[in-house]
Every structure is written in C-alpha cells, then in structure tokens.
Structure 1
Amino acid sequence: VPDKTLHHGLQVEDGTLALIFRNGQYQGTLEPGYHEFDSFLQRLFGADGGGTGHAILLDARSAEIDFYLDRITTTDGIEIDARVRTLFKVTDPKLFGDRFLTGRTTFSQQDLSDAFHGEVKTAVRERLGQKSLDELLATPDLRELIEAAVKERLEGAFAGAGLKTDGVRLADLTGEAVETLREKMAEFRRKTLERELDRRLQDALREEKVTLFRDEHDLNAEFERVTHGLGLESAGRERERKAFLQQAEKELERAGLQMDWSIRHEHVKHELEEERMRRAAEREGRREYLDDELSENEKRFAQKQGHEKEQAATDLEVARQGIEALKAVKEAKHEARQREAQLDLEVERQLLDMRGGAE
C-alpha cells in the first residue's frame, strides 16, 4: 500500500486468505473483504508506532499437485514409474507460514512438491510393493484401496504443515513393462470378445438345430427324412435342398473361423509365456539359457501351428468334397425323378392310344 495515501488498507478477494505480519511478527489472518489498518491522522500523530507490515495472500481453495515417482518395484520384481496427484487445502495458515514462508521472498508449487516428495514416495512404495503389476492394471478397486491407504498415510505429514489432504489419486503408471502388459491385456480383451461372440453364435445355431454333417451318408439321410416328413413337391424340395446345403456351408466356414481363432489364441498364450520366461531369466542373469529355450519353444510352436493348419486345411477340403459329392448325388436323383416322370407320362400316353384304337 503506498505510504502517501489517507489510510492503509487491503482488499482480500474471495477464496483468498491473508497472513498479516507486523515488524516481522505474525499478527493473524484476514478473511475476504476490504480491511483498513490505520488512517492519515493516526500516522500524523504517530499513533501507528512507525512500524512496518506486510501481508501474504494464500489461495484458501483446494489445490492439486502432482508427484512424479520413479523406480518403484512391485511384488513380482518389475520397476515402474508412477504419477500421484494429491488434492489439499490450507487449514492452519500460521503453521503453513512458519513452515514454508518464513524468510522466503517467493514460494511456488515446486517448493511444496519438493517438501513432501519423500513422504509421498515412501507411502506409495509401501503399497505398490505389496502388489503385482497384473493386479494393479487389472483391478480398479485395488487401486482405490491403495489411494485410500496412501491418503491416510500422508495425513499426518500434511497436517504438520497446516495442510489437509482431501484426496489422493494414482493418476498413471508408466514404464516399458507397463506398456507391454497393457498391449497384451488389450489383445486378450479383444480375443475374449471374439470368443464370446463365437459362443453366442454356437448357442444360436444349437437353438435352430443346425448341425454340421461331414459324412455324405448322414447328410443324405437327414435330407430324405426332412423332405419325406414335410411332403414337399419337386420345386419345394429343390429350394429346401439348396437352403440346407447353404446352411451346412456356413457352418463349415464358422468351424474354420473357430479353428483359426484357436490358433491365434494359442499364439497369444505362447507370447505371454515367452515374456514371463524372459523376465525370470533377466532377474537370474541367465540370458543365454533363455535364448536357447525361447528358440526351442518357437520351433515347437511353429511345428504345432503348421500341423494344426495342415489338419484344418485337410478337414475343410474333406468337408468341401463331401458337399460337392452330395450336390452331385442330389442332382442325379433329381434327374432320375424327372426321367421317371417323363417315362410315366409316355406309358400313360401309349395306354390312352391303345384304348382309343380298341374303341
């Protein structure tokens, strides 16, 4: 406040708290509003004592600060980095001023972060060190429990500086292992969704009583039973036959897709197993042994995958040949029925001609 005004005063804005010091001694706090300290007459007659004063303005609302923590080891021996966000506010201005403002000309958020970085890292390390990386990424409720425990652990340290902790949030976990596991989990969730869709398709097909017949004799017997029971005419039987064969082809394609999904699922499991083996080998310093083991696993997996693909191709080819054979049999039967009908008509015509001649 300028010295040559009629009085000294201070405007404290809403959401702000003023710490008042006179001659270097803390005098108290001022709430939002305008506060007058003295007048021109008081200073004219020396009633103000000739002292000096200053005020420090604090934001009384809740504030956030991020703590960046590195090299935190989980229970499965994986080092990760973490970003922890704390929400706090000033509850004891005098204690806060004595701790952070005495003798300072400036104060920043970084000063506050540096003051509590050790306590925050210790509290987070104690909790994260009791869990595995898989649990931290896959269990949201677990992270909430950890945040509550860290908040409780930090309340004492913050209270000693005139602060109150309103909340702690484990904002992010980073690191090479974290990103790799997140990618694997995303792939696994996608595969799980595909599997669920496939299961629903199987249930729908089962409800409609659609069965894949790979054997020509079984397929032929089922078709004959259906056509006989419904008593379809020639055109109706043909439409039914085509619909039946189309459904069988769709089921065959679905079976091929399911087998392909199984192969890809096995591939993901193989990659996850390789990752676990690599971590174990790195901790024990046996990289050479791990490389040999991984190479052997890749060979076995490649052989197994090749065999499964060959078997799948063979099964699909056998099924296709069965369907083609069935089509040929049905077409031959259809042609035979047509020839038989024509022969019946010819015999009937000859009988009519003979009767006409006799008459």
Structure 2
Amino acid sequence: MYLLVIIFIALILIAMGVRIAQEYQRAIVFRLGRYHSTRGPGIYLIIPFIDRQVTVDIRTNTVDLEQQETITKDSVTIKVNAVLWFKVTNPEDAIIKVANYNRAVYQFSVTALRNIIGQHSLDEVLREREEINRTLQKIVDAATENWGIKIEMVEMKDVEIPESMQRAMAREAEAIREKRARIVKAEAELEASIKLTQGAKQMEGSPIALELRRMQMLSEIGIDNNTTTVILMPSDFTNAAKSFTEMVNKDKKKKEE
C-alpha cells in the first residue's frame, strides 16, 4: 500500500516537472536560487519546488521608439521617432545581468537617439539618415552586448520639422532653383553671343553677305507679324547690284554681236 502511494506521489512530481519549450524559446533554470542550466527547445524536466525557470524568446523583437523632441547641433527643435530590431543571443546573460532587458534596450536606445541627434545639424539629420542609423546601431549594440543582446538594425521613421523651419527651407529651395535657372540662362546667352561674334567676323569681309542676311531677317519678321515692312537699301548694296546688272547686259550684247 505504501509503495503504491510513493509511486503515485512520484508520478505526480514527475508530471509537475515536465516542461516543453518551443523552438524559438529557451528556459533558464535556477536551482535553489542559483543558475543551473539552459533548457530547450523540446521537452525537459525540472525538480518541483526546487527549480525555477524563466522562459526567454530568442526571436527578433521589434521596438517602436516613441517620438522624441530633441535639439540639433544648430539649435533647431525637431521630433524624431525610430524603430529598433534586436534579438537575444545569450539567454543566461539577458536574464541574469539585467533586470528587464526589453525595457533596458528601449531606454538606452531612446537616450542614444537623443544624444546622436544633438551631435548633428538639421541638414545632416535630413541628408545622412543612413549614416546616423548605422552609428546609432553601433552605439546601442556595444552597450547591450554584455547583456547577451544583438542589435540587428535601427531605422529613423520620421523627422518632424517646425512649420516655420519648413517655410524657410521652402524659400531656400526656391531661391536655389531660381539661381540655377539664371545660371543656365546666362550660359545660354554667353554661348549665343560667342556664336554671333563668330558670325559677324565671317561676314565682316563680305558686306553683300551681311546685307543679304539683314534682308532675310526682315522678311522673317514680316512673315511672323503679318505686317508691311519698309526696307532701306544702303547705297553700297544698290551700286553693287547696279554694277552686276551692267556686267550681265554687256555680256549679252557681246554674245549677240
């Protein structure tokens, strides 16, 4: 009879000590208050009333860093939020060396985010976000490595700029665009003046060619505006045309004779 009672009690204790850890879990077992072993995944046994276990999830965790109001290096107040991804690589350290590793990672990441924003100007925060993300990841990872935690990635989601600063940046961007437009126009005018100078030099030795070009331009103006154009012919051009006509007539008379 007593043997059956002992066997029954033993079976109950064994049943109470059976534990199952999922593939993504690890169980930290403490025996009489001291770290004993890390169990899992799968089925394992602990001693009831003597062993105590703490289960740790070793999957990648996502932490949403709430929006932080901070001041940049050039004294501009902005609001920044970010997302952090981390995983537990050493479950024993994550439980033994830090009281609440989730909260510890969050608080240190928020502090590091505020500090690193304060070391950069607003332009750098907007232009060099990838570099700031990598720097923030290295800082947080170096601090949490001793806790058995690996920081996989950090990304700033949004940078909120004051409305007055947004208007100032819009005016600055508009001024830059206007400057570029004026530069392009000035370069085009310079190139056109160079071409006109080259054309003038070529026509300098031929007054008739210059007059023909002038007549062509006047005819184009008349076509475009549908107006009557009065042309004043220079005497040199008229004399040259008259001489050319007389030469043609002389040649015709010689051929007839």
After TM superposition, is the score higher than 0.5? yes
SS of aligned partner of 1:95: helix
Decide whether aligned partners of structure 1 residues 240 and 83 sit closer, same or farther in structure 2, where only a CA change above 3 A counts: same
Residue in 2 aligned with 1:294?
Answer: none
Q: Do the aligned partners of 2:28 and 2:92 also contact (CA within 8 Å) in 1?
A: no
Residue in 1 aligned with 2:177?
Answer: 190
Return the alpha-carbon distance in structure 1 between the equivalents of residues 171 and 210 of structure 2.
57
Aligned positions of 1:1-359 closer than 5 A: 10=20, 12-13=22-23, 16-19=24-27, 21=29, 27-31=37-41, 35-37=42-44, 56=55, 58-61=57-60, 63-98=61-96, 99=98, 112=102, 115-137=104-126, 139-140=127-128, 143=129, 146-176=132-162, 177=164, 179-195=166-182, 197-198=184-185, 200-202=187-189, 204-205=191-192, 209-210=195-196, 222=200, 226=203, 229=206, 232=209, 238-239=215-216, 331-333=231-233, 337=238
Q: Do the aligned partners of 1:20 and 1:56 also contact (CA within 8 Å) in 2?
A: yes
Return the alpha-carbon distance in structure 1 between the equivalents of residues 53 and 188 of structure 2.
76
Please identify which structure carries the higher strand content. Answer: 2
Residue in 1 aligned with 2:6?
Answer: none
SS of aligned partner of 2:94: helix
Decide whether aligned partners of structure 1 residues 74 and 234 sit closer, same or farther in structure 2, where only a CA change above 3 A counts: closer
SS of aligned partner of 1:210: helix
Q: Do the aligned partners of 1:158 and 1:164 also contact (CA within 8 Å) in 2?
A: yes
Compute the displacement of 1:86 (Å). 2.7
Return the alpha-carbon distance in structure 2 between the equivalents of residues 174 and 226 of structure 1.
63
SS of aligned partner of 2:233: helix
Decide whether aligned partners of structure 1 residues 156 and 228 sit closer, same or farther in structure 2, where only a CA change above 3 A counts: closer
Return the alpha-carbon distance in structure 2 between the equivalents of residues 192 and 64 of structure 1.
45
Please identify which structure carries the higher helix content. Answer: 1
SS of aligned partner of 1:77: coil
Decide whether aligned partners of structure 1 residues 76 and 226 sit closer, same or farther in structure 2, where only a CA change above 3 A counts: same
Return the alpha-carbon distance in structure 1 between the equivalents of residues 47 and 78 of structure 2.
60
| Count of aligned pairs between the two proteins | 223
Identical amino acids, percent of aligned pairs? 18
Structure 1 stretches lacking a partner, 5+ long:
39-47, 102-110, 212-221, 246-326, 353-359
Decide whether aligned partners of structure 1 residues 187 and 78 sit closer, same or farther in structure 2, where only a CA change above 3 A counts: same
Return the alpha-carbon distance in structure 2 between the equivalents of residues 73 and 233 of structure 1.
68
Compute the displacement of 1:72 (Å). 0.9
Decide whether aligned partners of structure 1 residues 36 and 84 sit closer, same or farther in structure 2, where only a CA change above 3 A counts: closer
Decide whether aligned partners of structure 1 residues 167 and 79 sit closer, same or farther in structure 2, where only a CA change above 3 A counts: same
Compute the displacement of 1:156 (Å). 4.8
Return the alpha-carbon distance in structure 2 between the equivalents of residues 168 and 93 of structure 1.
22
Return the alpha-carbon distance in structure 2 between the equivalents of residues 192 and 65 of structure 1.
44
Specify the code of the residue in structure 2 equivalent to 1:332.
Answer: L
SS of aligned partner of 1:333: coil
Structure 2 stretches lacking a partner, 5+ long:
1-11, 222-227
